[in-house]
Amino acid sequence: MKNLNLESLKQITILYAEDDLVIQQQTAGILKNLVKKVYVANCGKEAVDIYNEKKVDIIITDITMPNITGIEFSKYIRKDNDEIPIIVMSAHNDSNILIEAIEIGISRFLLKPLNITDLIQVIAEFAENISNKNEKDSVTNLLEQYKSIVDIDSIVSKTDKDGIITYVNDRFIDISGYSRDELIGQPHNIIRHPDTPEKLFKKMWSTISEKKKVWQGVVQNLSKQGKSYYVRSTIKPILDINGEIIEYIAIRQDITPQERTRKFLQKQNVKKISNLNDALKSQEQYENVINKINIVSRFDLSGRITYVNDRFCKLIEYTKDELIGQTFKMIRHEKTNIETSRQMWKTIKNGKTWSGKLMNKSKTGKTFHLDAVISPIFNQNNEIIEFISVCHNITSIMELHKELEDTQREIIYRMGEIGETRSKETGNHVKRVAEYSKLLGKLCGLAQEDIDIIFMASPMHDIGKVGIPDSVLNKPGKLNAEEWEIMKEHSELGYNILKNSKREILKAAAIISYHHHEKWNGAGYPQGLKENEIHIFGRITAIADVFDALGSDRCYKKAWELDRILELFKEEKGKHFDPLLVDLFFDNLDEFLKIRDTYID
């Protein structure tokens, strides 16, 4: 009997119909120790009643029963539910009964006298399928909820591959002024503003249609009532499994107030202020426009705050007296990218306007995100006298983006865990491998984009194990020569599963699956690559995977002590592993051990 997934069995409810009380008691007694709940019926009528009253996952029924036969009971079920597994048992190997069972849609046919091991194996297979379906349904439900959040917070539309509108949400209708019926079936340029440059749309269309990539940018649109409005747009082509475009989906944020402020600032920067009265008048007009709708602050050439409006104070939770004279360091979030701050200062000190996203924290420690426009203010001699910052709170949008990214990462982890779960390894294994790979990628000087990719892709290094038989995958002892050849197939199986994907992360995962069992000296598998012929992603993941595997309990071994693991890495430097990566591993061993202890099983 194959190794069973007992955790899946424990979630299953069974309806068992059997009129032979001796067989019934023996079989039900065993099943009750394995599954969540067993409902027992002595005849077909009782089985029908239980089915109508209780929620069950699997049906087991005898063929010959009083009042309603197992075949008749199965027909009744199939009229109501064509997915629930039905296991039929019979003492007669009658071809007519078998044919009728197939026509009804019976899931499995077992002969009596019943081999309880075979029955449990069949139930376990169905239980695992049900568990996988429930998990998929759970993720789908979660994504649907995220979609509803996006619909509430954003302006959303979908078009077919020719740009004809097929869906708009309520916020799209509100801001455009058109009804849903007026929009559906129309080209998307129904809302195009005539002042928007033609080259912007050409670039947009080239990006999403020809390159099949995401386009992001600011677009000026025109409502039905003739009012212009600005949106920050993200447009993504949706592809089928062959990489062909099915439709486009666009998510937008209304940034009309910020964009009007930015244009106002541009006009102010080029305007010649001839005297003090003009300057004061311009300043008054400026403040009246932006104070009502934005988070505003001003600061001098040394970066000290000279003015904040009420909306700034409400968000930051400091009073004006607490802020005036201080620098923005007091509200800067510890995770703020220092390079972003340097680039901002360089831009505004050169007399140009800077725009971007800032991450800050309030007096009570709350994190908030701002979409900021910071501009220098000039005197009549065109000298910078101060800087003004106009911001919009986008915390809710950033939190939604993070939630969606976390969901995507969790789905990828779940994919990686499929292979690990089948080989009785823990979900934390793929998390540790991801963190080790990310750290080693950073240490060896990979670009940040590649570090992010290997962090997301490395959890799927053993996805090919889904195609390896349980008898080989979970054998408690050493594999024989034939079994080892079967086990080695998982690298190529994983590559074949992922190789045709158009997604960068999945393409990287295909390479990792294919290369992470290659060895520096050419003695690895499946291709016998050596040294730099092995992709850097494969070389990094090899070290991460082996380090974690040796330190973990497996069905065929106990976890090694750390000293024994480190001794093996010293011996295999330049043989199994890239010597440069091994040196980096030892030089930064404490950081690897911190990761191990953070994601301990």
- Residue matched to tokens 């202890």: 597
Global pTM exceeds 0.75: no
Cα distance between residue 540 and residue 520, in whole Å: 12
Q: Where is pLDDT greater, at 174 or 240? A: 174
Q: Is the pLDDT of residue 289 over 50?
A: no
Cis peptide before 85 (omega within 30 of 0): no
User: Do 457 and 512 form a contact (C-beta atoms < 8 A)?
Assistant: yes
CA distances from 248 to 158, 204, 235, 242 (A): 6, 12, 7, 16
CA distances from 442 to 346, 435, 453, 458, 540 (A): 27, 11, 12, 14, 11
Cα distance between residue 278 and residue 69, in whole Å: 97
Q: Which of 286-295, 369-378, 401-410, 445-454 has the highest mean pLDDT?
A: 445-454
pLDDT at 494: 84
Q: Is the pLDDT of residue 115 over 60?
A: yes
Condensed to tens digits (0 to 9), the pLDDT of residues 2-11 reads: 555 567 788 8
Share of the chain above pLDDT 90, in %: 39
Candidates 318, 346, 343; CA nearest to 331 is: 318
Q: Considering the chain, what is the average pLDDT of its residues?
A: 84
DSSP 337-397: -HHHHHHHHHHHHTT--EEEEEEEE-TT--EEEEEEEEEEEE-TTS-EEEEEEEEEE-HHH
Candidates 393, 320, 405, 321; CA nearest to 357 is: 393
DSSP 161-184: TTSBEEEE-HHHHHHH---HHHHT
In this structure, what token pair is assigned to residue 217?
A: 């940018």
Task: Give the mean pLDDT of 124-151.
Answer: 70
pLDDT at 530: 95
181-190, 430-439, 465-474: least confidently modelled range: 465-474
- Give the pLDDT band of residue 280 (cuts 50, 70, 90): very low
88-102, 152-166, 583-597: least confidently modelled range: 88-102
Condensed to tens digits (0 to 9), the pLDDT of residues 170-194 reads: 999 999 999 999 999 999 989 999 8
Q: Which of 202-216, 445-459, 565-579 has the highest mean pLDDT?
A: 565-579
User: Do 470 and 2 form a contact (C-beta atoms < 8 A)?
Assistant: yes
User: Do 52 and 15 form a contact (C-beta atoms < 8 A)?
Assistant: no
From the CB of residue 345, how many other CB atoms can be counted at a distance below 10 Å? Answer: 14
CATH entry 3.30.450.20 includes domain 154-254: yes
pLDDT at 532: 94
- Give the pLDDT band of residue 153 (cuts 50, 70, 90): low
Cα distance between residue 172 and residue 61, in whole Å: 54
pLDDT at 279: 43
In CATH, the number for domain 399-598 is 1.10.3210.10
CA distances from 455 to 5, 79, 511, 537 (A): 29, 48, 14, 10
According to DSSP, the β-strands at 86-90 and 108-111 are parallel
Give buried/exposed letters for 484-514 (b at 16+ CB in 10 A, else e). Answer: eebbbbbbbbbbebbeeeeeebbbbbbbbbb
Condensed to tens digits (0 to 9), the pLDDT of residues 552-580 reads: 876 556 889 999 999 999 999 999 999 99
CATH entry 3.30.450.20 includes domain 259-393: yes
Condensed to tens digits (0 to 9), the pLDDT of residues 379-424 reads: 777 788 889 888 888 887 777 666 656 655 665 655 555 555 444 4
Cα distance between residue 218 and residue 285, in whole Å: 26
User: Do 129 and 84 form a contact (C-beta atoms < 8 A)?
Assistant: no
Cα distance between residue 453 and residue 537, in whole Å: 9
pLDDT at 272: 42
Condensed to tens digits (0 to 9), the pLDDT of residues 47-60 reads: 999 999 999 999 99
Cis peptide before 113 (omega within 30 of 0): yes
CATH entry 3.40.50.2300 includes domain 6-144: yes
Cα distance between residue 424 and residue 458, in whole Å: 19
Q: Where is pLDDT greater, at 276 or 97? A: 97
CA atoms within 13 A on the CB side of 548: 30
pLDDT at 1: 46
- Residue matched to tokens 């909820």: 145
Task: Give the mean pLDDT of 455-473.
Answer: 82
pLDDT at 128: 86
State in Å, rounded, how far the first CA of the chain is from the last one: 28
What does R_g of the chain's alpha carbons equal in angstroms? 32
Cα distance between residue 489 and residue 38, in whole Å: 40
Condensed to tens digits (0 to 9), the pLDDT of residues 3-48 reads: 555 677 888 999 999 998 999 899 999 999 999 999 999 999 999 9
Condensed to tens digits (0 to 9), the pLDDT of residues 66-102 reads: 899 988 999 999 999 988 999 998 887 777 777 887 7
Fold equal for 154-254 and 259-393: yes
Candidates 408, 453, 418, 413; CA nearest to 432 is: 413
Cα distance between residue 138 and residue 145, in whole Å: 11
Condensed to tens digits (0 to 9), the pLDDT of residues 336-382 reads: 888 888 899 999 999 898 888 888 999 999 998 888 888 888 877 77
Domain residue limits, the chain: 6-144, 154-254, 259-393, 399-598
